[in-house]
């Protein structure tokens, strides 16, 4: 009976989300009621379920819910898993979402995006519930993607302002870096276990120990990939700078996302995969050192921030660093208690932060007290001032990410400016046809050429996506290059055995359908708006909301978001990349990351930000 109830924890918030979509934009009372009643029903169901589960002995529950695709050597299925980690995260998610929705119904009264806010909160709760209930990497990745999209939408909630839109794209880009880690972990797990491994099976000590004993380096690679995903999602070094930028959204969304729930998903991922890497001593030491370094740097940075939201953000980062240490030490129960305490505290702090600021300003006037001596005063002055400046500059983590990651990619993309769409077709189309001929005659190719061709074609796909990522003028050119990149990736993987035509059709079906929808949406926009380029933000969502929604859905489908078969096709692709084809795997993973960034960037530039027309209100650039 309890196994049958597990899907309800995903279906209840999904039903609330779908109902909220049907309500009118001005029906504030109905929207808020649907939201908090959905969260209340979720909390009540979870509470009753946990009581019944505890009376049954706290046994782990694993349910193979539905098989979406099955072939000779591959199976993609939705798997749900419930244990004490899931219980704590599910309960916290429902309770805090309920509190936030009750608070927001008054806080956001008469806000222009009232309906949009509650739609996104319920969408977030659906993705969050699916993530923490996930019983395998594939199911977790679906929820992971839903969390990333809802983060982007809530950070850019004030979509007529420059900074919220810019920071929403910045945070989404960091999330995509985390996606690389999760994608590579899924890829290598397929080859390590030769199946779609479930988290329940990872608790089989003999199975895990035997596999890692024979494949030590593979195990270390999977663990490091998981750590990369967890660090990016939980704002650990060197990704810590994104969390304060994420506070551009409304205070309630900052509380539920970046103070309590979403920011702790990285810690959840480490706890969920702990049975896999608990006997890899070097990995445990690395996780502990990462948490320690993040905790120290973030604690110092929080002390010098002038913004109360930034102070709370860095304080939360510091506490999550301590949670990483607790997980590395195997103190799961302590980590769960720490998570609950930190989540409740940060939610409370963020919700009362506007009132606290007003109160403190008043106190400074009427009850001024001199600053008390602190630990820093005992340090040599030169060291104290150096640490102060570094913390004030946030240890230049934002600059580090730009210099070491994004700027090299942009420079490389600009070096390809000569590669316009006409030249791409005239040069690459004959090469693509030659690749199809080579695929048809693959058995006659020399072994060296057969191994080199997939890498070369994967590189061409990456170049096309990179060129789209740095395109500054033509929207349709950027879209066409992203779509062409998918075709090159499909051709590259087709040279590996067992990747037949049906797999290619699954992968490309969503790309083609959503690509056509994106082109139609842009063409309709250009009929009334002549000035549509990627050189600035245009804000066309205000006058063309339906076109903006259609274009966003199309972009998500092209990027492999779990709304089309392309999401399944991407997992199929990685299941057919051999363990010794690391370069090809890296090229494909980087292509997937960049095409998502390129498409979200196109959407943001065309439809979000200050409106290009001067008769609309324009916020200050610093707003």
Query: Per-residue pLDDT for 356 more than 80?
Result: no
Q: How confident is the model at residue 44 (pLDDT cuts 50, 70, 90)?
A: very high
Given pLDDT bands bounded at 50, 70 and 90, which one contains residue 419?
Answer: low
Share of the chain above pLDDT 70, in %: 93
d(CA 333, CA 217) in angstroms, rounded, equals 29
- Determine the Cα–Cα distance for residues 318 and 298; give it in Å rounded to an integer: 5
Report the alpha-carbon distance of residue 431 to residue 89 in Å, rounded. 51
pLDDT value at residue 64:
83
Instruction: pLDDT band for 106, please (50, 70, 90 cuts).
Output: confident
Tell me how crowded residue 322 is: count the other CB atoms within 10 A of its CB.
18
Write down the residue that tokens 């193979």 correspond to: 64
For position 421, what pLDDT does the model report?
A: 61
pLDDT of residue 371: 67
Supply φ then ψ for residue 493, to 5 degrees: -75, -25
- Of 266, 259, 365, the closest CA to residue 308 belongs to 259
For residues 453 and 491, the answer to whether their CB atoms sit within 8 Å is no
Query: Would you say 158 and 608 are in contact if contact means Cβ atoms under 8 Å apart?
Result: no
Residue of 396 and 233 predicted with greater confidence: 233
Average the pLDDT over 250-279 and give the result.
89
Section 32-50 average pLDDT: 93
Quickly list DSSP for 239-270: STTHHHHGGGS-HHHIIIIIIISGGGHHHHHH
Contact (CB, 8 A) for 376 and 387? yes
Mean pLDDT of 50-62: 88
283 CB contacts (<8 Å, ≥6 apart)?
Answer: 220, 223, 224, 227, 277
77 SS3 class: strand
Task: Report how far apart, in Å, the C-alpha atoms of 64 and of each of 67, 81, 197, 447, 564 are.
Answer: 8, 9, 12, 40, 21
Separation CA 257–CA 146 (nearest Å): 13
Q: What is the pLDDT of residue 618?
A: 67
User: Is 80 exceeded by the pLDDT of residue 111?
Assistant: yes
**How many C-beta atoms surround the C-beta of residue 246 within 10 A?**
26
Rounded CA gap, 42 and 458, in Å?
Answer: 44
Position 378 confidence tier, pLDDT thresholds 50, 70, 90: confident
Determine what percent of the chain is predicted with pLDDT higher than 90: 34
- Nearest by Cα to 191 from 596, 537, 574, 605: 574
d(Cα 203, Cα 303) in Å, to the nearest integer? 41
**Who wins on pLDDT, 432 or 116?**
116
Q: How confident is the model at residue 365 (pLDDT cuts 50, 70, 90)?
A: low
The whole-number pLDDT of residue 364 equals 63
Q: In three state form, how does the secondary structure of 520-558 look?
A: HHHHHHHHHCCCCCCCCCCCCCCCCHHHHHHHHHHHHHH
Mean pLDDT of 487-498: 84
Tell me, what's the pLDDT at 600? 93
Q: 343: alpha, beta or left, given left = phi > 0 and alpha = psi -120 to 50?
A: alpha
Class of residue 230 by CB neighbours under 10 A (exposed 0-12, middle 13-18, buried 19+)? buried
* pLDDT at position 42: 94
Residue 313's nearest CA partner among 260, 364, 362, 359 is 260
User: How buried is residue 270: exposed, middle or buried, by Cβ count under 10 Å (0-12/13-18/19+)?
Assistant: buried
The confidence band for 56, taking pLDDT boundaries of 50, 70 and 90, is confident
Average pLDDT over residues 538-567: 90
Looking at residue 191, its pLDDT comes to: 83
Q: What is the pLDDT of residues 555-577, one digit of tens each?
A: 999 988 888 888 888 888 888 88
Looking at residue 305, what is its pLDDT?
84
pLDDT at site 440:
81
Among 120, 113, 182, CA closest to 147: 120
Nearest to 494, CA basis, from 505, 482, 483, 510: 505
Q: Report the pLDDT value the prediction gives residue 120, as an integer from 0 to 100.
A: 92
Handedness of CA 419, 425, 428, 432 (dihedral sign): positive
Give pLDDT tens digits for 464-475.
Answer: 888 888 888 889
pLDDT of residue 210: 83
153-211 tens-digit pLDDT: 988 888 888 888 988 988 898 888 888 889 889 888 888 888 888 898 888 888 888 88
pLDDT, one tens digit per residue, over 332-350 is: 999 999 999 999 998 988 8
Q: Is residue 360 scored above 70 in pLDDT?
A: no
Q: Is the pLDDT of residue 530 over 80?
A: no
Output 224 or 442, whichever has higher pLDDT.
224
Convert the pLDDT of each residue in 298-340 to its tens digit. Answer: 988 988 887 888 888 899 999 999 999 999 999 999 999 999 9
What does the domain layout of the chain look like in residue ranges? 2-362, 416-607
| Paired tokens of 204 | 């089989």
Residue 351, both tokens: 């919700």
pLDDT-derived band at 66, boundaries 50, 70, 90: confident
């Amino acid at each position: 009976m309890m196994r049958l109830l597990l899907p309800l924890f995903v279906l209840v918030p999904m039903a609330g989300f779908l109902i909220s979509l049907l309500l009118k934009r001005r029906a504030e009372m109905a929207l808020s009621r649907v939201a908090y009643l959905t969260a209340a029903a979720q909390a009540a169901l979870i509470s009753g379920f946990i009581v019944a589960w505890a009376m049954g002995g706290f046994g782990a529950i694993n349910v193979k819910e539905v098989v979406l695709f099955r072939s000779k050597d591959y199976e993609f299925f939705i798997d749900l898993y419930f244990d004490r980690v899931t219980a704590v995260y599910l309960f916290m998610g429902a309770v805090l979402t309920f509190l936030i929705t009750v608070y927001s119904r008054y806080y956001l009264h008469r806000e222009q995006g009232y309906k949009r806010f509650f739609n996104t909160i319920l969408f977030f709760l659906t993705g969050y519930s699916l993530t923490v209930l996930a019983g395998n990497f594939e199911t977790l990745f679906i929820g992971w993607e839903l969390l990333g999209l809802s983060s982007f939408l809530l950070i850019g909630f004030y979509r007529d302002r420059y900074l919220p839109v810019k920071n929403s794209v910045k945070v989404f880009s960091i999330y995509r870096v985390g996606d690389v880690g999760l994608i590579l972990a899924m890829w290598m797990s397929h080859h390590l276990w030769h199946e779609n491994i479930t988290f329940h099976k990872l608790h089989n000590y003999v199975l895990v120990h035997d596999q890692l004993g024979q494949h030590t380096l593979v195990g270390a690679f999977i663990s490091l990939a998981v750590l990369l995903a967890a660090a990016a999602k939980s704002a650990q070094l060197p990704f810590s700078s994104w969390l304060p930028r994420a506070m551009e959204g409304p205070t309630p969304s900052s509380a539920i996302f970046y103070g309590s729930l979403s920011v702790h998903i990285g810690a959840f991922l480490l706890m969920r995969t702990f049975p896999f890497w608990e006997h890899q001593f070097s990995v445990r030491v690395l996780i502990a050192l990462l948490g320690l370094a993040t905790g120290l740097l973030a604690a110092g940075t929080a002390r010098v921030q002038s913004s109360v939201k930034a102070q709370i953000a860095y304080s939360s980062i510091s506490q999550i660093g301590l949670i990483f240490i607790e997980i590395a030490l195997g103190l799961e129960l302590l980590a769960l208690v720490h998570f609950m305490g930190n989540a409740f505290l940060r939610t409370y702090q963020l919700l009362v932060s506007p009132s606290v600021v007003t109160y403190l300003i008043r106190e400074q006037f009427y009850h001024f007290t001199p600053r008390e001596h602190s630990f820093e005063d005992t340090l040599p002055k030169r060291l104290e001032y150096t640490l102060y400046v570094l913390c004030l500059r946030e240890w230049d983590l934002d600059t580090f990410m730009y210099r070491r990651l994004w700027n090299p990619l942009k420079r490389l993309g600009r070096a390809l400016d000569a590669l316009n769409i006409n030249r791409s077709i005239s040069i690459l189309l004959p090469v693509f046809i030659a690749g199809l001929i080579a695929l048809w005659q693959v058995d006659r190719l020399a072994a060296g050429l057969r191994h080199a061709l997939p890498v070369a074609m994967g590189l061409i796909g990456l170049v096309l996506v990179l060129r789209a990522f740095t395109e500054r003028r033509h929207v349709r050119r950027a879209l066409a290059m992203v779509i062409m990149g998918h075709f090159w990736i499909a051709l590259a993987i087709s040279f590996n055995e067992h990747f037949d035509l049906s797999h290619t059709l699954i992968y490309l079906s969503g790309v083609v359908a959503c690509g056509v929808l994106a082109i139609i949406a842009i063409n309709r926009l250009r009929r009334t708006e002549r000035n549509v380029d990627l050189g600035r933000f245009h804000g066309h969502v205000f006058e063309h909301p339906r076109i903006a929604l259609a274009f966003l859905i199309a972009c998500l489908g092209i990027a492999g978001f779990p709304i089309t078969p392309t999401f399944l096709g991407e997992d199929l692709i990685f299941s057919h990349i051999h363990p010794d084809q690391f370069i090809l795997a890296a090229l494909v993973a980087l292509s997937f990351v960049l095409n998502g960034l390129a498409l979200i960037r196109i959407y943001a530039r065309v439809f979000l930000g200050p409106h290009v027309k001067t008769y609309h209100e324009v916020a200050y650039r610093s707003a």
